Structure 1
Amino acid sequence: MGVIEDRLDELGLRLPAPPAAPAGQRLPFELVRVHGDLAFVSGHGPFDGARLLTTGRVGGEVSPEQGYDAARATALSMLASLRQELGDLDRVAAWVKVLGFVTCAEGYTATPAAINGFSDLILQLWGDAGRHARSAIGAGELPFGMPIEVEAVVALA
């Protein structure tokens, strides 16, 4: 195990199964695409394998706290994809850019608070190398009923 996986273990967290297409769906793209010293990570949600952990609209069926937790679960799902592609999470030298989407109930505008669940975990695990530029966008619908979707660009060592 590397440094990042040791930190996950210290936090009592485990990586889920890497995301897989839900039954009857196909995903004709790479979850992680490495190009040079960057990895472009496709949009991820709070999945454990093909099982979606949370559905609904933040500020509606999903409380803001549950939205934060869904974003944190999304980070773990993304880390599972990165480990599968890179072999070792320690190859991630820096987090460059994060784009988060939140399925919002009408009138819910605290999208940054939900995506903080993702950012807080990345900062906890990578420290200064986890600092990233970020946007948090409200959405009417996301694939499969996900409350949160996040994509990222990371620099590789």
Structure 2
Amino acid sequence: MKSTCFFLFLFFSIQITTSQTPEEKLDELGIELLEVQSPSANFVKWRQVGNLLFLAGDGSELKGKLGRDLSVEEGYQAARQTGVDIISTLKAATGDLSRIKQFVKVRGMVNSTPEFYDQPKVINGFSDLMVEVFGEKGKHARAAVGHCSLPSNIAVEIEVVVELEN
């Protein structure tokens, strides 16, 4: 019995000491955060209400329509890069990514043809990155929907709601 308790203590001690902060995980992945630019229109990049932080939609630099101009893999990479932009905004809004308690809701919008049905595979690029960087805290409720067009012909736009620690 004593050896079992010691083993459990050792296991949980190792788990606690090996956890990484989101910033450490970004470094490990070789991801550099970007400087957040002010919006070019009459809105804000984020708004905090209580412990919830709402981010305005952030879009990919990649342009084109899925199902015509771009492959699912290109869309996946566009969503992943949009994720880097969103993490940059979260860092600017919070000052410390460790303040994020959990991702609550994600709305992924994909510029796609009417015949394109793989919007979830595209938005997986974002979701996979959030789990890589934030672990279980990065898992979220999500919608992945197609749109006949997005601003400036961007391939992907994503909105996020996160809960912050008290």
Q: TM-score, normalised by structure 2?
A: 0.83
| Residue pairs, 1:8-157, within 5 angstroms | 8-21=26-39, 26-46=40-60, 53-157=61-165
Provide the C-alpha distance between the structure 2 equivalents of 1:57 and 1:110, rounded to a whole number of angstroms: 12
How many residues of Structure 1 are paired with residues of Structure 2 in the alignment? 146
Q: Is the 8 A contact 1:19 1:77 kept in 2?
A: no
Q: Is the 8 A contact 1:82 1:89 kept in 2?
A: yes
> Shift in Å at residue 30 of structure 1?
1.3
Where do 5+ consecutive residues of structure 2 fail to align? 1-19
For the pair 1:3 / 2:27, whether they are aligned, the reply is: no
Runs of 4 or more above 2 Å deviation: none
> Shift in Å at residue 19 of structure 1?
4.2
Counterpart of 1:121, as a letter, is L
Q: Is the 8 A contact 2:99 2:164 kept in 1?
A: yes
Superposition RMSD in Å: 1.3
Q: Is the 8 A contact 2:103 2:137 kept in 1?
A: yes
Q: Is the 8 A contact 1:97 1:134 kept in 2?
A: yes
Q: Is the 8 A contact 1:45 1:150 kept in 2?
A: yes
Which structure: greater helix fraction?
2
- The SS at the match of 2:69 is coil
Higher-Rg structure is: 2
Q: Is the 8 A contact 1:19 1:81 kept in 2?
A: no
Where do 5+ consecutive residues of structure 1 fail to align? 47-52
Counterpart of 1:17, as a letter, is E
Counterpart of 1:64, as a letter, is V
Percent identity of equivalent pairs: 38
Distance 1:129 1:120, change over 3 A: same
> Shift in Å at residue 86 of structure 1?
1.2
Q: TM-score, normalised by structure 1?
A: 0.88
- The SS at the match of 2:109 is strand
